[in-house]
Amino acid sequence: MAKFVERTVVAACIAALVMAAGCGDGGNGQQAASSDAGSAALATEKVTLKMGMAFPTSLALLGEGAVTYVEKVERVSGGSLEVRLFEPGALVPALEAIQAASKGSIDAAWSTAGYLAGTDMAFNFFTAVPFGPDAPEYLAWMYHGGGLELADEMFTEQNVKFIPCTIIAPEASGWFRKEITSLDDLKGMKMRFFGLGARVLDKLGVATQLLAGGDIFQALQLGTIDSTEFANPVVDESFGFYQVAKYYYFPGWHQPSSILGLFINLDLWNGLSDQHQAIIEVTCGDMVRHVLARGEAMQSPAMRRMQEKHDVKIRYWAPEFLEAYEKAWQEVIAEESQRNANFKKIYASYSKFREEFKLWGDNGYLKR
């Protein structure tokens, strides 16, 4: 494909030059030919982006997805756009990649919006929402219900261009060293947990903290934390949490679906050609399809391997647990809406869309 693009651009340039030479009176014809040639040159001007990673490239779906993305960009651009990956910690810490892109320390970050929640809790809405929608409904809100426009407002203030680039299957709810038989078992537990779900568990007496993926296993092994959640089965399998904790709980009420994205320094983004911007957006759109489909296909085999090879015990939360989690989530909504204008505004858009979607959602699909 690269050779085809190269030949096409060269042919266009030659044609433009011939047109310029053939116009005896100069004038508008020469100007148009010059403009066409300039556009062709701009389209193929080599641009290299340094991208910091929030996840190691060896990590199933989350990290390896970035590798696939780079390959897609290379192929679609014909080599005129290169994205260079840097592992977590190589240029910036995993949880600080978006901030580094904002400042221009790196050009872009492969991360998730919730890692910016220390700046504003409302950023979590663009990663995952407790008891929220599955992937199709989530994408519907983001692309056709105002979600992406709200994200643009917030990220523009951070000097960042946010492009959703992946959506993954539901997460697991967590790894525990022993079976959880009552809500009292959670009280006082030290647990790695992400996003708005962490606020929910805090209300139930869990001491939550956010750790980068690469730091979790050691913390679990050393007893710095008692339990953890991270992602879905094929991702969790990569980290080997089953070596320390055997009880694996579902469903992932805190992240029914999760968006990852590309976060580009806004000044750099505005300086890219229209063609390069389109390449980035279109390839990210294709990554949404790729990772969602791949993720759904990979979960059952991973669960089965962990059951059969590592004696992992899969558990599904009893109704009283899920009811307690949802009740605590409603309390978080009320509290955050009262003290955070961005949270209130985004939740209003999100909840209005879900209410309107409900007629279709409740009737359009077979009940599982």
Domain assignments of the chain as residue spans, ordered by start = 2-25+46-170+257-297, 174-255+311-363
Give the Cα-Cα-Cα angle 63, 68, 69 (nearest 5 degrees): 95
Residue 362: per-residue pLDDT: 96
Average pLDDT over residues 333-339: 98
Q: Is 2-25+46-170+257-297's fold the same as 174-255+311-363's?
A: yes
Residue 302: per-residue pLDDT: 98
> In the numeric block, which tokens belong to residue 166?
């992946």
Is the backbone of residue 78 left (phi > 0), alpha (psi -120 to 50) or beta? left
Average pLDDT over residues 154-171: 97
Residue 44: per-residue pLDDT: 61
Burial class (CB in 10 A: 0-12, 13-18, 19+), 248: buried
CATH architecture, domain defined by 174-255+311-363: 3-Layer(aba) Sandwich (3.40)
Phi and psi angles of residue 265, each rounded to the nearest 5 degrees, phi first: -50, 125
Phi and psi angles of residue 367, each rounded to the nearest 5 degrees, phi first: -75, 130
Average pLDDT over residues 298-308: 98
CA distances from 150 to 114, 123, 129, 204 (A): 15, 10, 15, 31
Average pLDDT over residues 3-12: 37
Indicate the pLDDT class of residue 293, thresholds 50, 70 and 90: very high
Average pLDDT over residues 50-70: 97
Residue 45: per-residue pLDDT: 83
Q: Are strands 207-209 and 190-192 parallel, antiparallel or unpaired?
A: parallel
Indicate the pLDDT class of residue 4, thresholds 50, 70 and 90: very low
Residue 175, Cβ neighbours under 10 Å: how many?
25
Please check the confidence at residue 363 and state whether its pLDDT lies above 50. yes
Residue-averaged pLDDT of the chain? 90
Residue 31: per-residue pLDDT: 45
Overall size of the chain counted in residues: 368
Give the Cα-Cα-Cα angle 124, 130, 131 (nearest 5 degrees): 145
CA distances from 100 to 52, 162, 259 (A): 8, 14, 20
Sign of torsion over alpha carbons 171, 294, 290, 76: positive
Average pLDDT over residues 95-100: 98
Report the distance separating Cα 334 and Cα 1, nearest Å. Answer: 53
Please check the confidence at residue 12 and state whether its pLDDT lies above 50. no
Q: Is the pTM of this model over 0.85?
A: yes
CATH architecture, domain defined by 2-25+46-170+257-297: 3-Layer(aba) Sandwich (3.40)
Percent pLDDT > 70 in the chain is: 88
Percent pLDDT > 90 in the chain is: 87
